[in-house]
Amino acid sequence: MEDKPRPEIQAGIYPTEVIRDVAESVGITGLTDTVATGLAGDVEYRITLLIEEASKFMKHSKRTALLPCDIENALKVLNIEPLYSPHPATSIPTYRRVATPAGPVFALEDKEIDFEKALREPLPRLSKGPSYTSHWLAIEGVQPLIPQNPAPTDNGPMHQLAPAQAALNNNNNNGAGVGGTASTTIHPPVKHLLSHELQLYYIRLTSALLSPATNVPEAREAALASLRGDPGLGGLVPYLVRFAGEKVSTNLSNLDIIDAMVGVVHSLIDNQTLFIEPYLHQILPLLLTTLLTSSYPAPPDQKALWLRQKSASLIARLLNDYSNSYPTLSGRVAKTLFKALSGDDQVLGESASTDIGTRFGSVLGLKAIGKNTAVRALIHEKGLKGLSELAESLNEEAKMQMIDVVIEVLAEVLPEAKAVEINSSQIEDTCGSLIASQIPVKKPELTSSIATALQEESGAEENV
């Protein structure tokens, strides 16, 4: 059987002369036409494959012109070492001619480095390594003003709740008629921290608190009970504290509103789910104002006395809860009460420095701070003497009220009576003639307790 002749390989576009030149450059001579034609066809196939892949990159790039970067990407896809495409005109590389035994070689021009000069130069500054720090993003729903947090964009009052108020008004008015006036909703320039439900709750709560207690006492009691037991009011605490402070500062002569605001503070303290420690700097001045104000009716007004007693008890509770965390807190409050008892007009003002109610409040406040502090201010510093002198101008009922309060405080803070010599003139010089004359009548055993306190003070001075 005769062998069929093999078909001749048809030469393509790629010239065979280029194949022979490349073969001779690497030392291969005598390449036959058949081999050269076969290699030329293989090169042509691979070039076609490369151009087809490059055209895909061109089309996906929404271009109609083939760029060198398309060729490089096609070479990477075909797992072939990419060529170096022409550099942009701004960074054209320079080459230098290097003579070698095999012939001249062109290499990239490298910058020569002088080691002596390089060693004399100062070392570059090391970049700061990665580090981590922590800061408060928010505390009880309030963003602290620190550099790590974005600055607030609104300087308006924190408790401005215009969107909820507009919604509440729309619900109450049930819409305007054709001839009526349409209400305009003004949107504030900042995003509110409170949800729409909490805003409505705040508005209804404040409305119930500000309503006269004689008209709707159940509404106020329900509002205070809600503050006392609701666990979801953490975001409202700063708004309520500020609301109470503003109402106290502008309504000191209105005992009904003062009673409601003191009740708000009392309810916030009673609510175990709320964290009020960040707001002590706002709550304590509020309570000191309701304790020492001279705007209350003059004695023997029972409501004013009750408000002072309630404020003093709340101050005592706060000091008992937070004195360990803030060691200077009790001392700062005591310093304010000392000045109120002594009638310091630079701190209290001219009217409050001579007001008997302010002295009442300071006595009650000192009892709340502690026994030793109260004894020092009332007995050793002769605070009762100034109170007694002011009370001389009161009517009999007011005098008796003042004396009853003082005797009640002394009974709680004075040390236990000992067998000591009682000097009536010394007690009168310490307590004032009015109080000293009533102590033996109202509570005779306090005379010995006062004498004991005076003797302990003199003994301590002798030891020093």
C-alpha–C-alpha distance, residues 162 and 269, integer Å: 28
Asked which of 244, 275, 306 is the last residue of a domain, the reply is 275
390 domain-assigned: yes
Tell me: pLDDT of 390 over 50. yes
Which residue type does 306 have? W
Say if residue 393 is in the same domain as residue 457: yes
Over residues 334-351, the pLDDT tens digits come to 998 988 888 776 666 666
Which of residues 144 and 119 earns the better pLDDT score? 119
282 domain-assigned: no
C-beta neighbour count of 156 within 10 angstroms: 11
Q: What is the CATH number of the domain that holds 17?
A: 1.10.20.10
Q: What one-character-per-residue DSSP string does 393-437 give?
A: TS-HHHHHHHHHHHHHHHHHHSPPP-S----HHHHHHHH-HHHHH
Say if residue 246 is in the same domain as residue 302: no
Q: Tokens at residue 165, please?
A: 């108020």
Say if residue 210 is in the same domain as residue 296: no
Over residues 42-99, the pLDDT tens digits come to 999 999 999 999 999 999 999 999 988 888 889 889 888 766 655 555 556 677 888 8
457 domain-assigned: yes
For range 296-300, the mean pLDDT: 84
Asked which of 73, 88, 103 is the last residue of a domain, the reply is 88
Say if residue 228 is in the same domain as residue 81: no
Say if residue 315 is in the same domain as residue 421: yes
345 domain-assigned: yes
The alpha carbon torsion through 441, 443, 445, 451 (nearest 10 deg) reads -80
Say if residue 221 is in the same domain as residue 350: no
Domain around 253: 196-275
372 domain-assigned: yes
Say if residue 215 is in the same domain as residue 252: yes
Q: What is the CATH number of the domain that holds 237?
A: 1.25.40.770
pTM of the model: 0.59
Say if residue 311 is in the same domain as residue 454: yes
Tell me: pLDDT of 1 over 60. no
284 domain-assigned: no
Return the pLDDT at 183. Answer: 47
Say if residue 335 is in the same domain as residue 363: yes
Which residue type does 431 have? C
Over residues 399-414, the pLDDT tens digits come to 888 888 888 888 888 8
SS3 category, 160: coil
Rg (the chain; Cα; Å): 46
For range 92-111, the mean pLDDT: 78
Return the pLDDT at 347. Answer: 61
Instruction: Quickly tell me which residue has 């048809």 as its tokens.
Output: 10
For range 207-216, the mean pLDDT: 77
Asked which of 41, 72, 88 is the last residue of a domain, the reply is 88
C-beta neighbour count of 10 within 10 angstroms: 7
Which residue type does 393 have? S
167 domain-assigned: no
C-beta neighbour count of 446 within 10 angstroms: 20
Q: What one-character-per-residue DSSP string does 66-77 give?
A: --HHHHHHHHHH
125 domain-assigned: no
Q: Tokens at residue 93, please?
A: 């590389």
Over residues 357-374, the pLDDT tens digits come to 888 888 899 988 888 888
Say if residue 316 is in the same domain as residue 455: yes
Say if residue 324 is in the same domain as residue 413: yes
For range 245-251, the mean pLDDT: 92
CA dist 445 → 172, 296, 377, 422, 424 (Å): 64, 33, 20, 11, 13
Q: State the total domains in the chain.
A: 3
Tell me: pLDDT of 112 over 90. no
C-alpha–C-alpha distance, residues 338 and 332, integer Å: 10
Say if residue 307 is in the same domain as residue 411: yes
The pLDDT confidence band at residue 179, using thresholds 50, 70 and 90, is very low
Tell me: pLDDT of 6 over 80. no
C-alpha–C-alpha distance, residues 454 and 440, integer Å: 17
For range 438-464, the mean pLDDT: 75
